[in-house]
Amino acid sequence: MRRPSTFRRMLRRAAVPAAVLTVLAFFGGYAVLGPNGVLAYGDYKRQLVKRERDYQALDRRRQVWKNRVALLNPDHANPDMVDEMVRKELNVAHPDEVIVPLDGK
């Protein structure tokens, strides 16, 4: 029987550690460069800041609309608000007329 060469024996012995190193390198690279990796953390922080600003703007708009709805309550509707909305909806406001919005306080 023929004895395997030294080179083949060395390749066989190095195959398992090489495979393990390849798998570790893959997962390590993915942990650093992947979409949820360490380098993506800064992007997530920027997105969070932007979304918080958007949320605050939407919350301010929601407060304005909440105030307008409260002024249109059928039990005690604000006459100025009703007049403003009727003129706007029926298109009867004159071009030189100025409608002053109420701040609701």
pLDDT tens-digit series, residues 70-101: 877 778 777 777 777 787 778 777 777 776 76
CA-closest candidate to residue 67, choices 29, 98, 102: 102
pLDDT at 63: 96
Q: Give 56's Cβ-side CA count (13 Å radius).
A: 6
Sorted by where each begins, the domain ranges of the chain are: 1-33, 40-105
pLDDT at 79: 79
- CA dist 81 and 77 (Å) reads 8
